[in-house]
Each structure stands twice: as structure tokens, then as C-alpha cells.
Amino acid sequence: ELSGPEQAFQQRVDDGVRIEPKDWMPQAYRKTLVRQISQHAHSEIVGMLPEGNWLTRAPTLKRKAILQAKIQDEAGHGLYLYSAAETLGVSREEMVDDLLSGKAKYSTIFNYPTLTWADIGMIGWLVDGSAIINQIPLCRCSYGPYARAMVRVCKEESFHQRQGYDLLIQMCRHGTPEQKAMCQDALNRWWWPSLMMFGPPDAASTNSAQSMQWRIKLFSNDELRQKMVDQSVPQAEYLGLTVPDPDLKWNEARGHYDFGEIDWDEFHAVIKGNGPCNRERLQARRDAHEAGAWVREAFSAHAAKQAARRKV
């Protein structure tokens, strides 16, 4: 049974009115947004690491410049998202501490290694591809600061996706048989983890029902995952690559591809911290935080000096 203010809040959400930071909102709405937006921000920041691994080994100057621009965009996305979460009353320090202590989640996908240059193509095509499918609806979500941040993020993600697919076209359609084989190997490793990005199946998604009622989520995890499969299969065919799923089959009656069962044990193991690179990723963030301590101290000292000067 909803209280009076809760009913009025739900009515505003149902009417498509954007909720803004100073508006009244249920505590649980605030909490779920802080959870989702901070996880999203952490994913952008940790997500810089797998690609950063290839910056010094990009095959040409042009590819290096593109990759560097893309990774810098991800840092920007993390910062917009931390700012959006801060409008809900949580501090950046708390969020960063939760990431570094291992308390906060970030997307499972960034705990997989980037073994070859083809992995950079796969991340752009499949990981940014999944991110776009998930984030386009978020541009219309009920919380104003999150929705507005997503508009620019999505524009940049489309560039990211194109650079990945362009790199793969080069290697698969204009490259050597060895390069094409390298792409097939990368697809074999990235396909299933990319489908896991959309979260658990609807029946196991603990937050979905409430988040959909609040219009934080507009589509379910399985709906968006299906969209990803339907979009990617023809793109894989154009590259001449085989999607590593023997159960993948066009279903005329449904108008969608049927696909095989995801290994949910792997998904849960990676969430729990036992993926191939979880420890390495967190250690890299902890080292970066420690190495940047002098910058934070210098800013605080400068701010204190300015404040003292204003007092006299």
C-alpha cells in the first residue's frame, strides 16, 4: 500500500514527468538509483583497463589515436555518472571507497582479458554495442540527471561501436587468414560474456519489477539481450565469422533468433570476484588511487588557502 506522497510520486512517473534532485522521492527510489548509477560509473572507469592494455601496441598511429580518444571518452562517462549520483546525496569519496574495497559491483565484462588486437575490435562491436542497446532507453528514464547524462554518452558510444566494427571489417574482409582467425578466436571468447552484460534472466532479476515501475528501466534484461542477439548475428555474417552457439537459429514464428543457455554459474562467479581478471582490475584502480593521492592533497591545500584568504 503506497502512502500519499508515494502515490503522487508514482503518478508523476506514470505521466512521464522527469524527477529532479530537489523533488521529493521515496528513499528506495533514491537508493536504487545510487546503486545503479554508481555501478555504471565504476564500470566506465574499470572499463578503461582492458583497452588501455593495447594502447602502446596499437598497429598504426591512426588506430592508436582512435583508441586513445575512445578510452578518454570512457573516463568522461565515469565522471558524468559520478556527478549524476552525487545529486542524490552520496559523495564521490564514498563511491570510490566502495569500489576499491570490493563492496561495489561493476560490470562483469571488464574482468575478462584482452589477449590480442582483435579483442579491441570485439569490445567496440559487442561491448559498446550492448552498452548502447542498454543505454538508449536510459535517455528516457525517470531521473533527470541520469537521463541527460545518457544522451551524450550514447552519442559517444556509437562512435566506439563503429570504430570496433571498422577494425574488424579491416581484419576479416581485407586482412590475412591469420587475422581472420584471430577475430574468430576473439569472438569465441567475447560473445557469451557480452550477453551476460544485460544481467540475470528476468525471472532471477531481483530489481527489475520495481525499477520498471519507477521507469528507471524501460525494458527487461531478456528483452534487451534478445535485441543484442538479433542485431549482432547479421553483423557477424557480414564479417564471415561464426557465432559460438550451436543452438542459434532464426525463429520465423517469433521473428527473433533463438539462442543457447548462458552459463550463469560463470556470471555469478565473476560477480563474486572470481573472474579471470577481477583481482588485477581492482589492484590497478587501488594503485591509481594511491598514485593520485598527492593531486587530491594539493587541491585540498589550495582550496583551504583560498578559503583562508577570503576570510581576511
Contact residues toward ligand FAQ (CB under 6 A) are 35-36, 39-40, 43-44, 47, 74, 105, 107-108, 123, 127-128, 131, 134, 196-200, 205-208, 211, 217, 221, 271
Could you tell me the three cell numbers for 186? Answer: 576473439
Q: Which is nearer to ligand FAQ, 182 or 220 (CB)?
A: 220
CB of 255 to ligand FAQ, least distance (A): 23
CB of 308 to ligand FAQ, least distance (A): 40
CB of 74 to ligand FAQ, least distance (A): 4
CB of 61 to ligand FAQ, least distance (A): 22
Q: Which of 141-151 are b and which e, b meaning 16 or more Cβ less than 10 Å from the residue's Cβ?
A: bbbbbbbebbe
* CB 158 within 8 Å of CB 94: no
Say how far residue 243 (Cα) sits from the centre of its chain.
22
Q: Which is nearer to ligand FAQ, 122 or 180 (CB)?
A: 122
CB of 197 to ligand FAQ, least distance (A): 5
Query: Residue 250 and residue 301: Cα distance in Å, rounded?
Result: 62
Amino acid found at 115 = L
Say how far residue 307 (Cα) sits from the centre of its chain.
38
Residues 128/217/86/279 CA torsion (nearest 10 deg)? -50
CB-nearest residue to ligand FAQ: 47
Could you tell me the three cell numbers for 159? Answer: 562512435
Q: Which is nearer to ligand FAQ, 25 or 84 (CB)?
A: 84
* CB 6 within 8 Å of CB 26: yes
Q: How many residues does the chain have?
A: 312
Query: Residue 228 and residue 87: Cα distance in Å, rounded?
Result: 31
The DSSP H or E segment spanning 249 is strand 249-251
Q: Which is nearer to ligand FAQ, 121 or 200 (CB)?
A: 200
* CB 135 within 8 Å of CB 75: no
CB of 250 to ligand FAQ, least distance (A): 26
Q: Which is nearer to ligand FAQ, 171 or 220 (CB)?
A: 220
Q: Which is nearer to ligand FAQ, 108 or 226 (CB)?
A: 108
Q: Which is nearer to ligand FAQ, 132 or 241 (CB)?
A: 132
CB of 260 to ligand FAQ, least distance (A): 18
Cα–Cα–Cα angle for 269, 188, 125, rounded to 5 degrees: 95
* CB 108 within 8 Å of CB 196: yes
